[in-house]
């Protein structure tokens, strides 16, 4: 049950034809912080309820004109007042009268003359029940919204599976079958160079088909982890990877394969990232595959890492077609954008897999994209602080400007407990849920307005990586302060 401090401030309407009863009730309940409205008959009470809705009604039964039973009946017939708890007050002790009151929708019954401690206890109990019911209704509403959102996602997935995946599978299959038919029909006439060319076409088609099938299976397995969380450990690893070495090797190999070695730019800082090597390689492969696939030869593809304390931010940028904010927020498995207007090769499933793998390893993926200007996909990973650079190497003026833009505010930071709570929540959720959590922390917004303002600025840019970096800087500073204090 809620304490008196938690329910005080509630508005109570008391209806009784005896002014003395109303005065005593009002004085008593007002002492405990309630706002009390008084009416001496049912008609006036009904009129008042058309303008102002209380949290609870204390209603006398025996009144001239519209009595308590008729008043309650009217209230329960109106959608605006039907959910307001009604407690009857009466000297009537007949069980029939009590049953009639409950049948009309009353929640309780207080017998006159009043025991005011009993009145307070019953008022508090039913305000608690009302609060819990409202919370339950709100949670049910939120659950229905989540279920509807999930249903829509599943429907989008089903539609995209039925429309896009067959097309994507047919393309490499057509290539394989076409070259195979040429080989069969012209076996004796083909020159060796032609045979090699057709065989290469068959191999590339098979490779693409294999990639599509592997991604479809991987996506399905990752989504199943939602229902079997106890199996997550089989996908995770306590191992670390030397990011610079692995990124360099994979990026150069991929660039060479698509004959775009000159387009590749590497701006890497040493970092030891806590992640399964297999998961890291898969993330790199898919992001690079998209960057090269969706940009024209001769345009740059840039890979950059920034180390900041316990965090490493990996970003891969291209100057391809780009996406709108709406498209970014609606990214779904097997979804492609503007297929008729702009050729998109692949199902888009790779980006979803990267998001799920990063989330599985405690990382956060974000997308920054503009139509006609290109796309940057960033992932924030945890890294080993003892092996990572303690200071970020800034080699370009643009990077220096970026770090000034996202530097900490000069005002005091929130307590470490709140910072950790926000940081952990940011790692586990999406933008909308994070904003909802932030908005519920009223004290934080009052005491640290600049901190909240800066966080919301990152939210507006869909930059979870910067949220983590910003909060992480404060956490790192507080940890260093604690170490100094312990040494003293």
Strand 11-15 versus strand 35-39 pairing type:
parallel
Residue 170 confidence (pLDDT): 66
How far is Cα 359 from Cα 23, in angstroms, rounded to an integer? 61
Residue 113, preceding bond cis, omega within 30 degrees?
Answer: yes
Q: Over 90: is that where the pLDDT of 15 sits?
A: yes
pTM: predicted TM-score of the whole model, two decimal places: 0.46
* C-beta contacts of 126-134 below 8 A and 24+ residues apart: 126/56, 126/85, 126/87, 127/2, 127/7, 127/10, 127/55, 127/56, 127/85, 128/1, 128/2, 128/7, 129/85, 130/55, 130/56, 130/85, 131/2, 131/7, 133/83
More confident site: 374 or 468: 374
C-alpha separations of 208 from 87, 285, 348, 403, 451 in Å: 71, 14, 14, 40, 47
Which is nearest to 282 in space by CA: 211, 377, 202?
211
Residue 77 confidence (pLDDT): 93
**Spatial contact of 85 and 57, defined as CB atoms under 8 Å apart:** yes
Residue 56 confidence (pLDDT): 95
Residue 302 confidence (pLDDT): 96
Integer Rg of the chain from CA: 33
Residue 319 confidence (pLDDT): 94
Residue 367 confidence (pLDDT): 86
Strand 364-370 versus strand 374-382 pairing type:
antiparallel
Q: 152-179 burial string, b = 16+ CB within 10 Å, else e?
A: eeeeebeebeeebbeebbebbeebbeeb
Considering all CA atoms of the chain, what is the largest pairwise distance in Å, rounded to the nearest integer? 114
Q: What is the pLDDT of residues 99-121, one digit of tens each?
A: 999 999 999 999 888 888 899 99
**Spatial contact of 296 and 332, defined as CB atoms under 8 Å apart:** no
How far is Cα 437 from Cα 446, in angstroms, rounded to an integer? 15
Indicate the fold that domain 156-224 takes in CATH.
Helix Hairpins (1.10.287)
H helix runs in 225-276, sequence order: 243-257
More confident site: 317 or 360: 317
Which is nearest to 104 in space by CA: 128, 125, 79, 87?
87
Q: Which CATH class is domain 238-394?
A: alpha beta
Half-sphere exposure of 409 (CA within 13 A, CB side): 14
Strand partners, 265: 302
**Spatial contact of 306 and 269, defined as CB atoms under 8 Å apart:** yes
Q: What is the pLDDT of residues 172-211, one digit of tens each?
A: 777 787 777 777 777 667 788 888 887 888 877 787 787 7
| 85: confidence class by pLDDT, cuts 50, 70, 90 | very high
Residue 187 confidence (pLDDT): 67
Task: Domain ranges for the chain, please list them.
Answer: 4-114, 156-224, 238-394, 406-488
- Helix H or strand E segment including 356: helix 349-360
Q: What is the pLDDT of residues 361-408, one digit of tens each?
A: 888 888 888 888 999 999 988 887 644 343 333 333 343 334 334 445
| 457: confidence class by pLDDT, cuts 50, 70, 90 | confident
Selecting from 3.40.50.300, 3.40.50.2300, 3.10.20.440, 1.10.357.10, what CATH number does the domain 4-114 have? 3.40.50.2300
Residue 43 confidence (pLDDT): 92
């Amino acid at each position: 049950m809620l304490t008196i401090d938690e329910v005080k401030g509630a508005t109570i309407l008391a209806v009784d034809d005896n002014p003395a009863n109303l005065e005593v009730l009002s004085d008593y309940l007002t002492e405990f912080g309630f706002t009390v409205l008084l009416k001496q008959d049912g008609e006036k009470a009904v009129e008042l309820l058309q303008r102002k809705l209380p949290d609870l009604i204390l209603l006398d039964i025996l009144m001239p004109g519209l009595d308590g039973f008729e008043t309650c009946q009217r209230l329960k017939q109106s959608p605006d007042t039907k959910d307001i708890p009604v407690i009857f007050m009466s000297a009537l002790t007949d069980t029939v009268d009590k049953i009639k009151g409950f049948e009309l929708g009353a929640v309780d019954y207080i017998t006159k003359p009043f025991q005011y401690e009993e009145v307070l206890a019953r008022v508090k109990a039913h305000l608690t029940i009302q609060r819990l019911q409202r919370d339950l209704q709100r949670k049910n509403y939120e659950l229905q919204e989540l279920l509807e959102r999930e249903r829509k996602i599943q429907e989008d997935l089903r539609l995209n599976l039925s429309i896009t995946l067959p097309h994507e599978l047919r393309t490499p299959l057509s290539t394989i079958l076409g070259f195979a038919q040429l080989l069969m029909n012209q076996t004796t006439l083909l020159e060796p160079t032609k045979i090699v060319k057709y065989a290469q076409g068959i191999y590339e088609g098979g490779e693409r088909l294999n990639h599509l099938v592997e991604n479809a299976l991987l996506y399905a397995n990752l989504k199943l982890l939602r229902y079997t969380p106890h199996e997550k450990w089989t996908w995770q690893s306590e191992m670390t990877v030397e990011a610079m070495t692995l990124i360099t090797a994979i990026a150069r190999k991929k660039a060479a394969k698509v004959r775009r070695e000159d387009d590749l730019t590497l701006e890497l800082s040493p970092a030891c990232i806590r992640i399964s090597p297999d998961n890291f390689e898969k993330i790199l492969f898919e992001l690079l595959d998209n960057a090269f696939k969706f940009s024209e030869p001769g345009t740059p593809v840039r890979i950059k890492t920034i180390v900041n304390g316990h965090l490493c931010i990996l970003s891969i940028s291209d100057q391809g077609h780009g996406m709108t904010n709406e498209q970014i927020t609606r990214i779904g498995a097997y979804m492609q954008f503007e297929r008729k207007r702009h050729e998109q090769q692949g199902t888009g499933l790779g980006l979803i897999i990267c998001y799920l793998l990063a989330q599985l390893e405690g990382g956060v993926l974000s997308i920054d994209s503009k139509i006609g200007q290109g796309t940057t996909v960033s992932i924030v990973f945890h890294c080993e602080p003892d092996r990572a650079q303690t200071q970020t190497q800034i080699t370009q003026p643009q990077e220096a400007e970026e770090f000034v833009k996202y530097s900490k505010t000069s005002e005091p930071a929130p307590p470490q407990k709140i910072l950790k709570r926000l940081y952990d929540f940011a790692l586990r959720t999406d933008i909308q849920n994070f904003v909802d959590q932030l908005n519920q922390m009223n004290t934080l917004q009052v005491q640290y307005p600049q901190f909240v303002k800066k966080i919301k600025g990152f939210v507006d840019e869909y930059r979870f990586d910067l949220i983590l970096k910003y909060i992480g800087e404060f956490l790192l500073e507080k940890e260093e302060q604690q170490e100094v204090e312990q040494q003293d």
